[in-house]
Structure 1
Amino acid sequence: MANFILIFTCFLLGIFFRRYKFFPANTPQVLNRFVIYISLPALTLSQIHRLDLAGNILIPVSMSWILYALGVGFFYTLGKYMQIPKKSLGTLMLTGSLGNTSFVGFPLLEALFGVGAISVGILVDQPGTFLVAGTLGVATAAYFSGANVSAKQILRKVFSFPPFLALLFAFVLRLIPFHDSAYGVLDRLGSTLVPLSLLSVGMQLHFHPEKIKANFKYLCWGLGFKLFLAPLFFVALYVGIFHQRGEVVLITLVESAMAPMITAGILATEYDLDVELSNLMLGIGIPLSLITVPVWSWVLDSVRFI
């Protein structure tokens, strides 16, 4: 319960600070930079060093790639049927197919399963969601904007991202035993991720009733897919078809139900897609997921799927 109180407190404080301008306008960018350069790399080094690789790591790594392919196919078909404008369609593919598996995902995983679940979340996020966003996501955004992006530019983005470099470094360091003091320092730095990331998210959210009304149909399809249809698909795939069980599967399923990825919104903005729709997918999807994700976790546990 304390972890959920922390999540909602930090989230609401972020909204409060933005509304009353307690901090400079660029505060979310500063907080994001701290999380990306310090909190998340420290957490990655600590958790990957403790990770038991005897389990099935293919499931958490593969989920984001399958989700993106599923989302692109779903929204492409929907776009043909509903005649969705090109830029809006590209925005739905990005925000509806990429999950917020770190900034919102890690705090929720810690609240639902404990800090140890973050090691599985890192496998979902770094070789999964982040790599998808940095490669297929960039290519999708460029295609729907009409821009040209080279493979060299994509690789530069991927291999200059500190948490991804920390992930590669963490696997190498598994060969070296860590002293307790090293874990202590990394854990303290990593513990800043939850409050800072949720403060940042709260400070970036905007709600405009008129814009919501104008985009209501697209929002229903985008968030309906991301928060409900996608996790339902993975329950059918991993549990129903492949008969997988265990905590790793449960954590992966919960990660599949996360809100749209903030980076997906950034890509939509950078490539001049439907920025208004992108902001609404994030602004409504993130707070909504703070309710729907725990519900998914409770349902999966209650019906004994895992």
Structure 2
Amino acid sequence: MATFFEMLSIQLVLIIYVLAGVLAYKKGMITDQNRPGLIKLIVEILVPALIFKSFFNITWDIIALSFQTLIIATVIYTTITLVGGYFYRDLPEKQAKILHYATLCNSAGFAGLPIVTSLFGELGSILAAVYLIPHRIFTYTIGISLLVKQEKDLKTTLLSFIKNPMILAVFFGLIMGLSQIQLPTFIVNSLNGLSGTVTPLSMVAIGSIIGSVKMEALFEKAVLRFVWVRMLFIPLIVLMVLKVMHVDQQVVGMCVVMATMPAGATTPILAAKYDLDVALASKLTFVSIILSLFLSPAFLAFV
């Protein structure tokens, strides 16, 4: 487990990456039009490479921790699904829907996995990849259903999940790691190179999102409610429950980091698609990204 000052040092590096993203947006290098392509590159190529590489040195002890992680993540997302809407029941429907969605479907994959990898190394990558399995399932099913009431095609949903590059990386990485297959050096070096770009590019992309948000009435009632629920209450409950249950320290640390991650980068996009409160969604994304950079090390100090 990294010390508080090591974690703070890592967070300061991430802040510099984020500021580079803000500058890139202000200079027109990253725009609202080309950012989706950058995010797609990160999520569909670079992050899967990182996940796949992380399984090179997997052991049965790590698999045991992974199973524990899978159960914990499933319980967390099930609980948020069932009670998350309660915190926003008094708000207008167009706000309540996007708030419940953002509370359930945070940026655990896009922002969380690179940060966990920076803090905990390859073991962190594996545990985070397993944690993201329930995250993906809930995002593709429950998450979208929170935004719009419609019949879901189960076959299409399952195919979408199975074909997700991150899920495929977990599956094939697990097979490769357990079978101890030795890949050619040039492939290993290529994966190492691609993996090394995940954290800086992810944070730069997040910085470009921050740079695009207008600052008017940033801390309105709904935003403050979200900050309390998603950024403070949920991580605190996760930390306390896992500590009381004497869960492995690495697993606790990873789960706490994932719990402090901001609203997903797609939240404003989906708000626009389903005619919800786009301005609120943008503010949630902006405020939670900024706070997560400081809350992660603060919560980890108590792990």
SS of 2:148's equivalent in the other structure is helix
1:267 matched residue in structure 2: 270
SS of 1:61's equivalent in the other structure is helix
SS of 1:26's equivalent in the other structure is coil
Could you say if the C-alpha distance between residues 277 and 52 of structure 1 is closer, same or farther in structure 2, counting changes exceeding 3 Å? farther
1:304 matched residue in structure 2: none
Stretches of structure 2 that go unaligned for 5 or more consecutive residues are 1-5
Supply the distance in 2 between the matched residues of 1:273 and 1:149 (Cα, whole angstroms).
20
Supply the distance in 1 between the matched residues of 2:131 and 2:269 (Cα, whole angstroms).
20
Q: Post-superposition shift, 1:265?
A: 4.3
SS of 2:262's equivalent in the other structure is coil
TM-score, with length taken from structure 2 = 0.86
1:168 matched residue in structure 2: 171
Could you say if the C-alpha distance between residues 46 and 273 of structure 1 is closer, same or farther in structure 2, counting changes exceeding 3 Å? same
1:255 matched residue in structure 2: 258
SS of 1:103's equivalent in the other structure is helix
2:42 corresponds to 1:35:
yes
1:238 matched residue in structure 2: 242
For the Cα contact (< 8 Å) 2:88–2:100, is it kept in 1? no
Could you say if the C-alpha distance between residues 41 and 295 of structure 1 is closer, same or farther in structure 2, counting changes exceeding 3 Å? same
Alignment of 1:43-82 (within 5 A): 43-54=50-61, 55-80=64-89, 82=90
Could you say if the C-alpha distance between residues 108 and 97 of structure 1 is closer, same or farther in structure 2, counting changes exceeding 3 Å? same
My pick for the range that moved more, 262-271 or 285-294, is 262-271
Could you say if the C-alpha distance between residues 85 and 153 of structure 1 is closer, same or farther in structure 2, counting changes exceeding 3 Å? farther
Supply the distance in 1 between the matched residues of 2:138 and 2:103 (Cα, whole angstroms).
13
Q: What amino acid is the match of 2:225?
A: W
TM-score, with length taken from structure 1 = 0.85
Could you say if the C-alpha distance between residues 64 and 28 of structure 1 is closer, same or farther in structure 2, counting changes exceeding 3 Å? farther
Once the two structures are superposed, residues 84-115 of structure 1 have per-residue CA deviations (whole angstroms, 9 ceiling, x without a partner) of 22221111111112232232213322333335
Q: Post-superposition shift, 1:44?
A: 1.3
2:109 matched residue in structure 1: 102
Q: What amino acid is the match of 1:135?
A: T
Once the two structures are superposed, residues 153-202 of structure 1 have per-residue CA deviations (whole angstroms, 9 ceiling, x without a partner) of 32243233222222222223232422472432212111111111111111
Supply the distance in 2 between the matched residues of 1:244 and 1:116 (Cα, whole angstroms).
15
For the Cα contact (< 8 Å) 1:11–1:199, is it kept in 2? yes
What's the C-alpha RMSD, in Å, of the aligned pairs? 2.3
For the Cα contact (< 8 Å) 2:65–2:127, is it kept in 1? no
For the Cα contact (< 8 Å) 1:142–1:149, is it kept in 2? no
Could you say if the C-alpha distance between residues 289 and 298 of structure 1 is closer, same or farther in structure 2, counting changes exceeding 3 Å? same
2:190 matched residue in structure 1: 185
Could you say if the C-alpha distance between residues 266 and 156 of structure 1 is closer, same or farther in structure 2, counting changes exceeding 3 Å? farther
| Count, aligned residues | 291
Supply the distance in 2 between the matched residues of 1:274 and 1:18 (Cα, whole angstroms).
23
What is the percent sequence identity of the aligned residues? 19
Supply the distance in 1 between the matched residues of 2:289 and 2:228 (Cα, whole angstroms).
13
2:284 corresponds to 1:277:
no
Q: Post-superposition shift, 1:25?
A: 4.1
For the Cα contact (< 8 Å) 2:128–2:254, is it kept in 1? yes
My pick for the range that moved more, 85-94 or 116-125, is 116-125
Q: Among residues 217, 221, 228, which one is paired with 1:224 in the alignment?
A: 228
Supply the distance in 2 between the matched residues of 1:58 and 1:257 (Cα, whole angstroms).
22
Supply the distance in 2 between the matched residues of 1:29 and 1:17 (Cα, whole angstroms).
15
For the Cα contact (< 8 Å) 1:234–1:253, is it kept in 2? yes
Alignment of 1:9-20 (within 5 A): 9-20=16-27
Supply the distance in 2 between the matched residues of 1:42 and 1:179 (Cα, whole angstroms).
14
Could you say if the C-alpha distance between residues 51 and 268 of structure 1 is closer, same or farther in structure 2, counting changes exceeding 3 Å? farther
